[in-house]
Amino acid sequence: MLKKILFSCLLTSVVVPGYVFATTLIFDHTDSTWEINNILGVGTSDEDMVGLEVTVNFVGGGSETATWELSGAGGSGAWGSSWSLSMSDGSTYINSMHFTPWNFSVDQDIKISRIFIDAGTGASVFDATRTMASLVATGLQQSTPGSQSGSPFTYIGMNDPFNTIATYSGEVVLQGMAHQGDLYRYLTLDFGTAVQGSFQFSADTDSFGDTITPIPEPATMILFGNGLLVLSGFTRRKK
C-alpha cells in the first residue's frame, strides 16, 4: 500500500469568541499522477480554460457539474442552475503578487458544502506554493521548468468566513521528470460552514498543450510486469 503523505499549513485565521475561522491548505500526494509535455504559459487566459469542469455539492445532498466556457461580454466561467464560478477577461497570472480573481456566486436560498475544480479538462494545471518538505525532497528546486512561483488558494479581501479546507491533488509532472511539488490537476474546497452569497479567491494556474495522460502507479506497474512474466512462461511451456 502506498504511504499517504499530506502536507498542510495554516494560511489565514481570525479568532471570534466561540469560533475559529481558518483556511487549511493540504497537498495530497496519494492521488493519481498526470503527465504533460510542456508548459505553454505562466497563467491561463479565457481561451486556455475552456473545458475546465467545476462540480458543486449542495448542503442536504446532490451535486451539479458545469463546464467552463467563454461569455459573450468578455471573461469566462462555469454557470450552474443556481451558481457560477467566473473570471474577468485576462490571464490568471498578473505578476508574482497579483492574480486575477475567481468569482464565485450562489443564490441566497441555496447552500453549498464543496467546490471541486478539474483544471486538466481545460488544458490547465494549478500552480501552488511550495512547502519546505517538498523543496528538500526535490533538492530545493524552486518550481517545474517553464513555470514560475505559484500562489495557493486564498480568499481576496477577507479572512476565511467558511472554515475552508483547500486540497490540491492529482500531481502533474513534465514528461520524464519527477513531481516538483508545485503543479496539481485538482483543487477541492470543503467548507466547514455552508456557503451562501458570493466571494472571491486567488488560485494561480498554468496552461499546457492539449494532452494530459495518467502515469500508472508503481503497484500497477508491478502487477503488469508480473502478468507479462507469467504470460511469457506460459508461452514458452506451450512451445
Count of Cβ atoms closer than 10 Å to residue 63 Cβ: 13
Q: What is the pTM of this model?
A: 0.79
Distance CA 89, CA 201 (A): 16
Q: Of the candidates 25, 15, 18, which has an alpha carbon nearest to the alpha carbon of residue 151? A: 25
Distance CA 42, CA 64 (A): 30
Q: For the chain, where are the alpha helices, taking DSSP H only? A: 46-49, 132-137, 218-238
The C-alpha angle with vertex 207 and arms to 205 and 213, in degrees rounded to 5, equals: 105
C-alpha torsion sign, points 41, 201, 103, 32:
positive
pLDDT averaged per 10 residues in sequence order, the chain, 239 residues: 30 34 84 92 78 97 96 86 87 56 94 97 86 53 75 89 96 90 95 95 88 75 41 49
pLDDT for position 237: 54
pLDDT for position 83: 98
Provide the grid cell at 28: 495530497
C-alpha torsion sign, points 9, 12, 16, 19:
negative
Distance CA 84, CA 107 (A): 9
Distance CA 202, CA 9 (A): 17
pLDDT for position 141: 56
Q: Of the candidates 83, 181, 179, 88, which has an alpha carbon nearest to the alpha carbon of residue 131? A: 181
